[in-house]
Structure 1
């Protein structure tokens, strides 16, 4: 394991940079495609679909290859370099097809850096509390990233985001190189023996947990996607209240993750995620029933608790179930991608009901309840090993 002083600086720095990469690129990718390459709405949809498909495959293949070598930092350096290369390619590109190829060939694999970082943490013997605290740094990046991106666009234009992305890629290469320099450990020491007896559930049990995570991710994605329309159309409030609600939820996510990390010392990962699902069901029920701005902001604490459970503790649960840490985080990351796709059906079904956009929260709550039931089935099955 790296020396504590070095690790305490470099690992959070790497997490911050990978969080900023996603926070800079993901929310504004459609805007960049339109403003820089004159893409139509249909073209934007296809390019983003190809980019996400590339990321989906890369999240399974690249971390799995690193698992076989039991070395994650070399692959992490490559992903960081691909981030810088992507920024350069998009900046130099003059046509949408070239930009689409760059996103598929460079951007998809680059996004695997998130999985590799957390796989390295697990391989280095990090505790669940340390993993969750590192995930809180990523959440901070998501809080800080969009305002910084908005400022850059307003002050320097759309292409400034590509320059910022390139700088982030170069800094990520430098930070990871320092991690490698201080971790001859990754090559010279044997793989860390896991600190406690871990789950080795059957494939059917793993499939149930994956299905539950896809469901809860879909419900949450649908709730976030319709927030603005719900606030303006159903509650009759100004759009600023939607932004305030999302900002409050994002801000609360960080302390929620830190609390979750402390609780992971006393409670099982599965138990904390079940508690998160209960908070998610309560959140959806409250959103479907509330009528004023104060209540809108107050219930965001429930949303933050759900996200903290799924985003922080969920990663450790997958790594407990699946012995290959890279593949485990890759599969976990893909539950979010699949959930985002499935959220479209939840929105379509819920919004066409008599409840309007309130119906989306009802549907999201039902889907989250389904996820809870799936996790409870896993929880009550006799366990032959581990305490999860």
Structure 2
């Protein structure tokens, strides 16, 4: 399972950061065209992350769709390697690339379906995070040494390994359906195929969870998006400090996730999630008034804890509130996509104020505080189940 998590994380940690470079260098796309292509690609991923998991939920089988996603990744790498036509590349990304990227969320659905505890889910999430720390620098190194197309060869190799590893999991008889030691395939106590989702109270809690996590993901996306401009224009530091800051935050996220996984055995999920929100508020307020590189780097401890709480506890919360593991993981993944969209207005409105980019961090603090205030509305019982399910 660990090797599968690493490979699934690495698969698109290689492609996504290098995609814009590929579009410009190989397919001669303009800046405007890059934006359109990325929007189409992400839109395809949004739809696929709902449709494919729903199919897997109906069959109670997540490994075979994961294998299909691995094969689609190999097909995508091949199509992008043999063409120089931008329209063909766009079609490949929309038709093949979007569905191929769903394998990662299906992995977590498979974990839940197999009866994995919250600690195991969070630990697996930490492994995926490690892949995202290693993937972009590796892709950059390959591009610098052998050109943009070389990333596609590397992606194809990883796709082969990912498909082989997932196939081995299937042949080993990893549980995929029915009952696992007395638990239903949904990991709950009898909620099957969304029956409990029909309860109006539960639907209300799910709606609140979606809004809360879109808000939290939006603040994270906004903060990351403006980091380079904040460092250079507001703090008047060299641009390299922005890269160092983001790298430190990503590296710290891994131990933070592991710690949260351990603490989930002792503390409830709601408390850990609330602690993450408090850390996020403190981080955003402090960043608005940060005055030097030491403070900038030191504050990433708070940032890492904040994001680790969202990534770790958030995923398990979705999986407990929503009885279908695939749909739960797909909806959680999509809160990040929607959050990235919402971050645009946050940046444009806040940055236009007299405080400039500092106002973006202050706005993020306010939004995080509002999300924290909304947590009790989810329902104490539902959140307690999420932390111990």
TM-score normalised by L of structure 1: 0.93
Q: Which residue of 2 aligns with 1:94?
A: 84
Q: Which residue of 2 aligns with 1:167?
A: 157
SS in structure 2 of the partner of residue 186 of structure 1: coil
1:384 to 1:118, Cα distance in 2 relative to 1, 3 A: closer
- For residues 73 and 383 of structure 1, the distance between their equivalents in structure 2, rounded to whole angstroms, comes to 28
Q: Which residue of 2 aligns with 1:286?
A: 286
TM superposition shift of 1:270: 2.5
Residue in structure 2 matching 1:71, options 61, 75, 78: 61
- For residues 14 and 256 of structure 1, the distance between their equivalents in structure 2, rounded to whole angstroms, comes to 21
Contact persistence 1:197–1:385 (CA under 8 A): no
Structure 2 matches for 1:114-129, cutoff 5 A?
114-129=104-119
Q: Which residue of 2 aligns with 1:318?
A: 318
| C-alpha RMSD over aligned residues | 1.9
Q: Which residue of 1 aligns with 2:352?
A: 352
- For residues 190 and 236 of structure 2, the distance between their equivalents in structure 1, rounded to whole angstroms, comes to 50
Contact persistence 1:270–1:379 (CA under 8 A): no
SS in structure 2 of the partner of residue 45 of structure 1: helix
Q: Does 1:229 align with 2:229?
A: yes
Structure 2 matches for 1:192-271, cutoff 5 A?
193=183, 202-271=202-271
TM superposition shift of 1:384: 11
Q: Which residue of 1 aligns with 2:148?
A: 158
Q: Does 1:46 align with 2:36?
A: yes
1:385 to 1:370, Cα distance in 2 relative to 1, 3 A: closer
Q: Does 1:31 align with 2:32?
A: no
TM superposition shift of 1:372: 1.1
Contact persistence 1:197–1:386 (CA under 8 A): no
Residue segments in structure 1 that go unaligned for 5+ positions in a row: 1-10
Aligned length in residues: 377
Q: Which residue of 2 aligns with 1:336?
A: 336
Residue segments in structure 2 that go unaligned for 5+ positions in a row: none
Note the alpha carbon deviations across 1:265-305, whole angstroms, 9 max, x for none: 12222221121111111100010011011010000001100
TM superposition shift of 1:188: 8.0
Residue in structure 1 matching 2:45, options 38, 55, 62: 55
Note the alpha carbon deviations across 1:35-61, whole angstroms, 9 max, x for none: 111011111111111111110011001
Mean alpha-carbon deviation: is it higher for 230-239 or for 267-276? 267-276
Structure 2 matches for 1:304-315, cutoff 5 A?
304-315=304-315
Q: Does 1:140 align with 2:130?
A: yes
Contact persistence 2:108–2:329 (CA under 8 A): yes
Q: Which residue of 2 aligns with 1:370?
A: 370
SS in structure 1 of the partner of residue 176 of structure 2: helix
Contact persistence 1:283–1:302 (CA under 8 A): yes
- For residues 82 and 41 of structure 2, the distance between their equivalents in structure 1, rounded to whole angstroms, comes to 18
- For residues 244 and 310 of structure 1, the distance between their equivalents in structure 2, rounded to whole angstroms, comes to 22
Residue in structure 1 matching 2:100, options 110, 119, 122: 110
TM superposition shift of 1:186: 2.9
TM superposition shift of 1:25: 1.2
TM superposition shift of 1:12: 1.1
- For residues 251 and 383 of structure 2, the distance between their equivalents in structure 1, rounded to whole angstroms, comes to 40
Contact persistence 1:232–1:239 (CA under 8 A): yes
SS in structure 2 of the partner of residue 42 of structure 1: helix
TM-score normalised by L of structure 2: 0.93
